Protein backbone atom coordinates (compact mmCIF):
# COMPACT_ATOMS: atom_id res chain seq x y z
CA UNK A 1 0.00 0.00 0.00
CA UNK A 2 1.43 3.43 -0.88
CA UNK A 3 1.90 5.84 2.01
CA UNK A 4 -1.13 7.97 2.80
CA UNK A 5 -2.12 10.50 5.40
CA UNK A 6 -3.40 7.65 7.59
CA UNK A 7 -0.06 5.86 7.62
CA UNK A 8 1.85 7.17 10.57
CA UNK A 9 4.93 5.11 11.27
CA UNK A 10 6.76 6.50 14.23
CA UNK A 11 10.10 8.11 13.41
CA UNK A 12 12.03 6.10 15.97
CA UNK A 13 15.50 7.50 15.10
CA UNK A 14 14.25 11.10 15.44
CA UNK A 15 12.43 10.27 18.66
CA UNK A 16 15.50 8.64 20.17
CA UNK A 17 17.72 11.57 19.08
CA UNK A 18 15.40 14.06 20.80
CA UNK A 19 15.42 11.98 24.00
CA UNK A 20 19.22 11.61 23.91
CA UNK A 21 19.61 15.40 23.77
CA UNK A 22 18.42 15.48 27.38
CA UNK A 23 19.31 12.05 28.74
CA UNK A 24 22.76 11.22 27.34
CA UNK A 25 25.70 11.26 29.73
CA UNK A 26 27.28 13.99 27.61
CA UNK A 27 24.08 16.06 27.29
CA UNK A 28 24.74 19.79 27.40
CA UNK A 29 22.70 21.04 30.37
CA UNK A 30 21.29 23.48 31.25
CA UNK A 31 19.94 24.41 27.84
CA UNK A 32 19.07 27.91 26.70
CA UNK A 33 15.41 28.86 27.30
CA UNK A 34 14.44 28.80 23.59
CA UNK A 35 16.29 25.54 22.94
CA UNK A 36 14.63 23.89 25.94
CA UNK A 37 11.17 25.06 24.88
CA UNK A 38 11.71 23.79 21.33
CA UNK A 39 12.96 20.43 22.58
CA UNK A 40 10.05 20.11 25.02
CA UNK A 41 7.53 20.78 22.25
CA UNK A 42 9.34 18.31 20.01
CA UNK A 43 9.16 15.62 22.71
CA UNK A 44 5.45 16.28 23.22
CA UNK A 45 5.00 16.07 19.46
CA UNK A 46 6.70 12.67 19.44
CA UNK A 47 4.59 11.40 22.35
CA UNK A 48 1.19 12.31 20.94
CA UNK A 49 1.19 9.92 17.98
CA UNK A 50 3.18 7.28 19.88
CA UNK A 51 0.64 6.92 22.70
CA UNK A 52 -2.28 5.52 20.66
CA UNK A 53 0.03 3.40 18.51
CA UNK A 54 1.73 1.68 21.45
CA UNK A 55 -1.59 1.34 23.24
CA UNK A 56 -3.19 -0.31 20.18
CA UNK A 57 -0.27 -2.70 19.83
CA UNK A 58 -0.46 -3.62 23.52
CA UNK A 59 -4.22 -4.20 23.26
CA UNK A 60 -3.59 -6.92 20.67
CA UNK A 61 -1.83 -9.03 23.32
CA UNK A 62 -3.60 -11.25 25.86
CA UNK A 63 -4.67 -9.39 29.00
CA UNK A 64 -2.29 -11.36 31.23
CA UNK A 65 0.74 -10.87 28.96
CA UNK A 66 3.57 -9.01 30.79
CA UNK A 67 4.65 -6.99 27.69
CA UNK A 68 1.07 -5.67 27.46
CA UNK A 69 1.11 -4.59 31.11
CA UNK A 70 4.52 -2.92 30.74
CA UNK A 71 3.47 -1.04 27.61
CA UNK A 72 0.24 0.12 29.24
CA UNK A 73 2.15 1.41 32.26
CA UNK A 74 4.49 3.35 29.94
CA UNK A 75 1.49 4.85 28.12
CA UNK A 76 -0.19 5.88 31.39
CA UNK A 77 3.05 7.37 32.72
CA UNK A 78 3.59 9.35 29.50
CA UNK A 79 0.01 10.68 29.58
CA UNK A 80 0.46 11.73 33.19
CA UNK A 81 3.74 13.48 32.41
CA UNK A 82 2.17 15.32 29.47
CA UNK A 83 -0.71 16.52 31.65
CA UNK A 84 1.60 18.20 34.15
CA UNK A 85 2.88 21.76 33.91
CA UNK A 86 6.62 22.18 33.30
CA UNK A 87 7.35 24.45 36.26
CA UNK A 88 8.53 28.03 36.52
CA UNK A 89 12.27 27.76 37.05
CA UNK A 90 14.81 26.61 34.49
CA UNK A 91 15.84 23.52 36.55
CA UNK A 92 12.16 22.53 36.90
CA UNK A 93 11.59 22.90 33.14
CA UNK A 94 14.72 20.84 32.40
CA UNK A 95 13.52 18.10 34.79
CA UNK A 96 10.07 18.16 33.11
CA UNK A 97 11.64 17.81 29.65
CA UNK A 98 13.84 14.95 30.90
CA UNK A 99 10.77 13.11 32.18
CA UNK A 100 9.15 13.54 28.75
CA UNK A 101 12.36 12.26 27.16
CA UNK A 102 12.27 9.14 29.36
CA UNK A 103 8.70 8.50 28.22
CA UNK A 104 9.69 8.97 24.56
CA UNK A 105 12.52 6.48 25.01
CA UNK A 106 10.26 3.96 26.76
CA UNK A 107 7.56 4.21 24.09
CA UNK A 108 10.19 3.70 21.37
CA UNK A 109 11.26 0.50 23.11
CA UNK A 110 7.68 -0.75 23.44
CA UNK A 111 6.86 0.15 19.84
CA UNK A 112 9.86 -1.78 18.54
CA UNK A 113 9.14 -4.76 20.80
CA UNK A 114 5.43 -4.95 19.99
CA UNK A 115 5.44 -4.10 16.29
CA UNK A 116 8.63 -5.80 15.20
CA UNK A 117 9.55 -2.42 13.66
CA UNK A 118 6.71 -2.58 11.10
CA UNK A 119 4.72 0.63 10.46
CA UNK A 120 1.34 0.86 12.12
CA UNK A 121 -1.67 2.36 10.33
CA UNK A 122 -3.69 4.85 12.35
CA UNK A 123 -7.37 5.59 12.03
CA UNK A 124 -7.77 8.91 10.13
CA UNK A 125 -10.15 10.16 12.80
CA UNK A 126 -7.48 9.56 15.45
CA UNK A 127 -4.90 11.43 13.37
CA UNK A 128 -7.30 14.41 13.12
CA UNK A 129 -8.03 14.29 16.85
CA UNK A 130 -4.31 14.33 17.66
CA UNK A 131 -3.90 17.43 15.48
CA UNK A 132 -6.72 19.18 17.32
CA UNK A 133 -5.36 18.15 20.71
CA UNK A 134 -1.84 19.27 19.83
CA UNK A 135 -3.12 22.68 18.72
CA UNK A 136 -5.35 23.27 21.74
CA UNK A 137 -2.67 22.34 24.28
CA UNK A 138 -0.33 24.98 22.85
CA UNK A 139 -2.88 27.69 21.99
CA UNK A 140 -3.31 30.60 24.40
CA UNK A 141 -6.85 31.21 23.16
CA UNK A 142 -7.94 27.60 23.63
CA UNK A 143 -6.31 27.37 27.06
CA UNK A 144 -7.48 30.79 28.36
CA UNK A 145 -9.22 30.70 31.73
CA UNK A 146 -11.54 33.07 33.54
CA UNK A 147 -10.97 34.52 37.01
CA UNK A 148 -12.09 31.23 38.58
CA UNK A 149 -9.60 29.14 36.62
CA UNK A 150 -12.29 27.63 34.39
CA UNK A 151 -11.75 27.44 30.62
CA UNK A 152 -13.08 30.66 29.07
CA UNK A 153 -14.31 28.87 25.90
CA UNK A 154 -12.99 31.62 23.65
CA UNK A 155 -13.50 31.32 19.90
CA UNK A 156 -10.40 29.97 18.11
CA UNK A 157 -10.73 29.76 14.30
CA UNK A 158 -7.79 27.33 14.04
CA UNK A 159 -9.35 24.96 16.58
CA UNK A 160 -12.71 25.24 14.82
CA UNK A 161 -11.10 24.25 11.49
CA UNK A 162 -9.24 21.34 13.11
CA UNK A 163 -12.46 20.18 14.75
CA UNK A 164 -14.19 20.19 11.36
CA UNK A 165 -11.34 18.06 9.96
CA UNK A 166 -11.83 15.65 12.86
CA UNK A 167 -15.61 15.58 12.39
CA UNK A 168 -15.28 14.82 8.65
CA UNK A 169 -12.54 12.19 9.03
CA UNK A 170 -13.53 8.67 7.98
CA UNK A 171 -14.38 6.33 10.81
CA UNK A 172 -13.43 2.72 11.44
CA UNK A 173 -10.55 1.82 9.17
CA UNK A 174 -10.22 -1.95 8.69
CA UNK A 175 -6.56 -2.44 9.52
CA UNK A 176 -6.52 -5.98 8.13
CA UNK A 177 -7.69 -4.71 4.73
CA UNK A 178 -4.78 -2.29 4.40
CA UNK A 179 -2.17 -4.71 5.70
CA UNK A 180 -1.18 -2.55 8.64
CA UNK A 181 -1.49 -2.53 12.34
CA UNK A 182 -0.03 -4.72 14.95
CA UNK A 183 2.35 -7.59 14.83
CA UNK A 184 3.29 -9.31 11.58
Q: What is the DSSP string of 53-66?
A: HHHHHHHTS-TT-H
Q: Where are the alpha helices (DSSP H) in the chain?
A: 12-23, 33-59, 66-83, 90-115, 124-138, 140-143, 157-168, 175-178
pTM of the model: 0.63
Residues 42-86 pLDDT 10s: 999 999 999 999 999 999 999 888 889 999 999 999 999 999 888
Residues 156-167 pLDDT 10s: 888 888 888 878
- Give the CA-trace dihedral at 24, 25, 27, 30, to 10 degrees: 120
Amino acid sequence: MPPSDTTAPLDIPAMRAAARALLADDARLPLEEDELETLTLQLRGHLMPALPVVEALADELPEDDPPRACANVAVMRARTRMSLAPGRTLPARVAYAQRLARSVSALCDHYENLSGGHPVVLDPQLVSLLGLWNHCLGCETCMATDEHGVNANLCCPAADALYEDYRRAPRHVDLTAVGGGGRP
